[in-house]
Amino acid sequence: MQTSVIGFPRIGTLRELKFASEKYFKKEISEEELLQTGKELRAKHWNTQRQAGIDYISCNDFSYYDMVLDTAVLFNLIPKRYKELNLSDLDTYFAMARGYQGTYGDVKALAMKKWFNTNYHYIVPEIEDDMKITLAGNKPFEEYKEAKALGIETKPVIIGAYTLLKLCRYTGKKSLQDIAGSVAKAYQAFLRSCEEIGIPWIQFDEPALVQDMAQEDIALFRQLYDAILSEKRKCHVLLQTYFGDVRDFYQELLAMPFDGIGLDLIEGKKNVSLIEEYGFPQDKRLFAGVINGKNIWKNHYEPTLRMVKTLQAKNIQCVLSTSCSLLHVPYTLKHEHRLSKHYTSYFAFAEEKLDELAQLKELAQCEDYHAASSYQENKKLFEQARDCVNEAVHKRLSRITEDDYIRKPSRSKRQVLQKQKLALPEFPTTTIGSFPQTNDVKAKRSSYRKGEVSETEYKEFTKKKIAECVRWQEGIGLDVLVHGEYERNDMVEYFGEALGGFLFTEKAWVQSYGTRCVKPPIIWGDVYREKPITIEWSVYAQSLTNKAIKGMLTGPVTILNWSFPREDISIKESISQIALSIRDEVLDLEKNGIKIIQIDEAALREKLPLRKSDWKKEYLDFAIPAFRLTHSGVRPETQIHTHMCYSEFTDIIPAIDDMDADVITFEASRSDLQILTSLQEHNFETEVGPGVYDIHSPRVPSVEEIVAALHTMLTKIDRTKLWVNPDCGLKTRGIPETEESLTHMVEAAKVIRKDA
């Protein structure tokens, strides 16, 4: 029995890589210093895994920004506009990730999308017709040698050819099929180099295999790997899947010449029945994903060992593994001093998961593991009742009726009423909620949390920020204002901290994209609102202006999706509990004079099952009603907004209309406004604000550029329904670029009002 880890977090236990990268972006440290931080982190991560006794440790799971971008660069998928900047390799890489505006040119970043059903975001590689696809880099080999020099044998991991092709954007005439041959050749060259170096195992990550696969997809996969694996080799190839099951071609996959196949046995429950039904070849290794790489609850050893024993009884060569990369969980419980043992005894973060793998390996090798102390301790934990039930929450939920999910009157009637009451100009301008979370804001919150400043001082400071923000928005002529979200560390963690039933952590950071991290709260028990959460801030902001202030809330689906959920009750039940808590907040905002309320559902698309057949029953049927439950109680003239980002939601447009919001703002500028056509085709009824510029980059859009985007929008969207806003919140941006960009945006709206 052996153990394997698909990938380890890379941002650093205390976000060392984030801080070093951000310093590098600001030219405060040199390239050499940044690379040194990377080297130290890799050594630390490999040693941690070695000390835990992991047999198959990955290398090249480290990245300065994103692993999909790394794989694209490895194979020279660098669009011309970035090459033409003539920057260093590292700066070209960062220009693709973040955009570039400076001495050598002005280019936008590549698009960024959700990594399957996670809160991680990858950079979307672009394929141009005249790209020379070839093995052009050496990062995986260098990292392998670096680990080897430390005495650690590793398996280089890269994104597999099929997943890479599926994730790319094809900007020219060439399609995926047209480049499949040259991509396969480049991967062949990669494998040849591994062979030359004497690398014993490599890992191809192919999560796209758990999505619906049509016959042509299966044929493409075969075509790619028949070519990649065509040469005789000593280097073993692990085909690693995760986030679901491979039901569409399990038997064919087994017949292919891979040396190991990694299956997710947590999210891919069906994988277990596939093995049961069709077996698994004895001459291959099954990398059995038994440790949950996405959630933070301890593994329940009893069922896991029962499953492992079943596999052993079938003479399957089993390697115990994580269900996916540990990128999606925090590093360690060691830095959590505030949470008592009562709670932490139930949790395993990345490092603790390594220990679980080691313990399970030991137990699986025992003739009879039942008497082992590690097994007994785990059994006891799962037998004791957790203090997580709140009867009042259950009683309230049981009283909900069908009517509570329906807002009256119909949206078209509300739209007429709201136009009269709110008296907004045509093409109303607004923002998504947050304004720059500058260092002074973070430092003040940090001091407040440490008890260095009083609550009164913290509140006074926040109110001063709000007042400045409201005044500035009025000054440039925005129509619907926000309070700026200065009081929030994060749009989900903040609500997690305020709601009953949640726990929160001190240092449990998880990378969301690039240098940006989140600390997902933990849903420990039944959720309820203890007291009003946002009212004080919104009411204060409204007291400063005659323009409408948008109340700003996070919706139930997003709160759940960006938290670590319970595993003892259904997602549906947890979402409903959160929905009732947010409903209380919505009604309180309305009662306190807030006329427009935004309920962000940035993560609505995220947990949509990866297989279409499961969409409705296993998700949309409860996620959409949960959103409706939050706002169905408001008056017709109260305008409800929602917001979504990064999502590809062209395929669930009717479901989004069915949320029955009055206005939706969403990410669009990084994906070429493709979604507009789909909105038109579906006669989308909700008013819409497709983002007119990308906020994930410091680049400032010109007035002309925004006017052009608005003209394009007007070819697809009725002028009475179009809003003007950025892509997403401005918290990650600096003040100068924010002020300039928003001023251009308001200018552009004025131009359009005159022109259109």
Ligand X SMILES: CN1c2c(nc(N)[nH]c2=O)NC[C@@H]1CNc1ccc(C(=O)N[C@@H](CCC(=O)N[C@@H](CCC(=O)N[C@@H](CCC(=O)O)C(=O)O)C(=O)O)C(=O)O)cc1
Ligand Y SMILES: N[C@@H](CCS)C(=O)O
What size, in residues, is the chain?
Answer: 756
533 touches ligand Y by CB under 6 A: no
Q: Binding to ligand X (CB under 6 A): which residues in 423-442?
A: 437, 439, 442
Give the one entry of Zn ion, ligand Y, ligand X, none that residue 125 binds, where binding means its C-beta sits below a cut-off of 5 to 8 angstroms depending on kind: none
Q: Binding to ligand Y (CB under 6 A): which residues in 154-183?
A: none
Neighbours of 428 (CB within 10 A): 19
Q: How far is CA 75 from the centre of its chain?
A: 25
SS (H, E, C) 352-410: HHHHHHHHHHHHHHCCCHHHCHHHHHHHHHHHCCCCCCCHHHHHHHHCCCHHHHCCCCC
Q: Where are the beta strands (DSSP E) in 235-387?
A: 236-240, 260-264, 285-291, 317-322
Neighbours of 360 (CB within 10 A): 24
Q: Is 298 a known ligand-binding residue? A: no
Q: Which stretch binds ligand Y (CB under 6 A): 38-46, 195-203, 426-434, 653-661?
A: 426-434
Give the one entry of ligand Y, Zn ion, ligand X, none that residue 552 binds, where binding means its C-beta sits below a cut-off of 5 to 8 angstroms depending on kind: ligand Y
Give the nearest distance from C-beta 512 to ligand X in angstroms.
4
Give the nearest distance from C-beta 430 to ligand X in angstroms.
17
Q: Which of 253, 645, 652, 745 binds ligand Y (CB under 6 A)?
A: 645
Q: Which stretch binds ligand Y (CB under 6 A): 165-173, 185-193, 428-436, 607-615?
A: 428-436
518 touches ligand X by CB under 6 A: yes
CB burial of residue 585 (10 Å; 0-12, 13-18, 19+): buried
220 touches Zn ion by CB under 5 A: no
512 touches ligand X by CB under 6 A: yes
- C-alpha closest to that of 553 among 579, 527, 592: 579
Q: Which of 42, 519, 605, 699 binds ligand X (CB under 6 A)?
A: 519
490 touches ligand X by CB under 6 A: yes
- Element spanning 596, H or E: strand 596-600
Binding mask 593-622 for ligand X (x = CB under 6 A): ---------x--------------------
Integer Cα distance of 475 and 169 in angstroms:
40
641 touches ligand Y by CB under 6 A: no
Q: Is 194 a known ligand-binding residue? A: no
Q: Where are the alpha helices (DSSP H) in 52-160?
A: 67-74, 80-83, 89-98, 139-149
Integer Cα distance of 311 and 279 in angstroms:
9
Give the nearest distance from C-beta 66 to ligand X in angstroms.
13
121 is catalytic: no
Q: Which stretch binds ligand X (CB under 6 A): 234-242, 245-253, 316-324, 727-735?
A: 727-735
732 touches ligand X by CB under 6 A: yes
Between 330 and 433, name the residue whose CB sits nearer to Zn ion: 433
Give the nearest distance from C-beta 564 to ligand Y in angstroms.
19
727 touches ligand X by CB under 6 A: no
728 touches Zn ion by CB under 5 A: yes
Tokens 């499949």 map to which residue? Answer: 180
CB burial of residue 508 (10 Å; 0-12, 13-18, 19+): buried
Integer Cα distance of 212 and 208 in angstroms:
9
Q: Is 517 a known ligand-binding residue? A: yes
433 touches ligand Y by CB under 6 A: yes
734 touches ligand X by CB under 6 A: no
294 touches ligand Y by CB under 6 A: no
Integer Cα distance of 379 and 301 in angstroms:
7
Neighbours of 708 (CB within 10 A): 14
299 touches ligand X by CB under 6 A: no
**Count of residues that bind ligand X according to CB under 6 A:** 23
Instruction: State the residue number with the nearest CB to Zn ion.
Output: 645
Q: Is 460 a known ligand-binding residue? A: no
Give the nearest distance from C-beta 153 to ligand Y in angstroms.
42
Give the nearest distance from C-beta 534 to ligand Y in angstroms.
11
Token duo for residue 603 = 């993560």
20 touches ligand X by CB under 6 A: no
**Count of residues that bind ligand Y according to CB under 6 A:** 12
CB burial of residue 493 (10 Å; 0-12, 13-18, 19+): buried
Between 48 and 647, name the residue whose CB sits nearer to ligand Y: 647
Q: Binding to ligand Y (CB under 6 A): which residues in 467-506?
A: 491
733 touches ligand Y by CB under 6 A: no
Q: Which of 219, 389, 406, 443 binds ligand X (CB under 6 A)?
A: 443
Token duo for residue 571 = 């997602």
Integer Cα distance of 127 and 72 in angstroms:
10
- DSSP assignment of 478-533 equals -SSB--B-TT-S-TTHHHHHHEEEEE--SS--EEEETTEEE---EEEEEEEE-S-S
Token duo for residue 753 = 């009002």
Q: Which of 316, 623, 645, 752 binds ligand X (CB under 6 A)?
A: 645
- DSSP assignment of 436-465 equals ---HHHHHHHHHHHTTSS-HHHHHHHHHHH
- The single-letter code of the amino acid at 298 is K
Considering the candidates 370, 696, 711, 744, report the single residue annotated as catalytic: 696
Between 298 and 566, name the residue whose CB sits nearer to ligand X: 566
112 phi, psi to nearest 5 deg = -125, 135
Give the one entry of ligand X, ligand Y, Zn ion, none that residue 446 binds, where binding means its C-beta sits below a cut-off of 5 to 8 angstroms depending on kind: ligand X
CA distances to 128, 268, 414 from 419, rounded to whole Å, are: 45, 48, 9
Q: Three-state DSSP class for 747?
A: helix
Q: Is 70 a known ligand-binding residue? A: no
Between 437 and 638, name the residue whose CB sits nearer to ligand X: 437
Q: Which of 446, 570, 683, 715 binds ligand X (CB under 6 A)?
A: 446
Q: Binding to ligand Y (CB under 6 A): which residues in 542-601?
A: 552, 600
Give the nearest distance from C-beta 684 to ligand Y in angstroms.
20
For 626-659, give one letter per residue: b (16+ CB within 10 A) or e.
bbbbbbbebebebbbbbbbbbbebeebbebbbbb
- DSSP assignment of 51-70 equals HTT-SBEEES---SS-HHHH
434 touches ligand Y by CB under 6 A: yes
**571-591 and 535-543 are packed helices; what angle lies between their axes, rounded to 10 degrees?**
30
Q: Which of 296, 602, 610, 675 binds ligand Y (CB under 6 A)?
A: 602
Q: Is 562 a known ligand-binding residue? A: yes
Token duo for residue 706 = 């925004």
Instruction: Give the residue numbers annotated as catalytic, written as ranges.
Output: 696
Residue ranges of the binding site for 5-methyltetrahydropteroyltri-L-glutamate: 15-18, 114, 119, 516-517, 562, 606
Question: Which chain residues interact with ligand X by CB under 6 A?
Answer: 119, 437, 439, 442-443, 445-446, 489-492, 512-513, 516-519, 562, 602, 645, 728, 731-732
Question: Which chain residues interact with ligand Y by CB under 6 A?
Answer: 432-434, 491, 552, 600, 602, 643, 645, 728-729, 731
Residue ranges of the binding site for L-homocysteine: 432-434, 485, 600
Residue ranges of the binding site for Zn(2+): 643, 645, 658, 667, 728
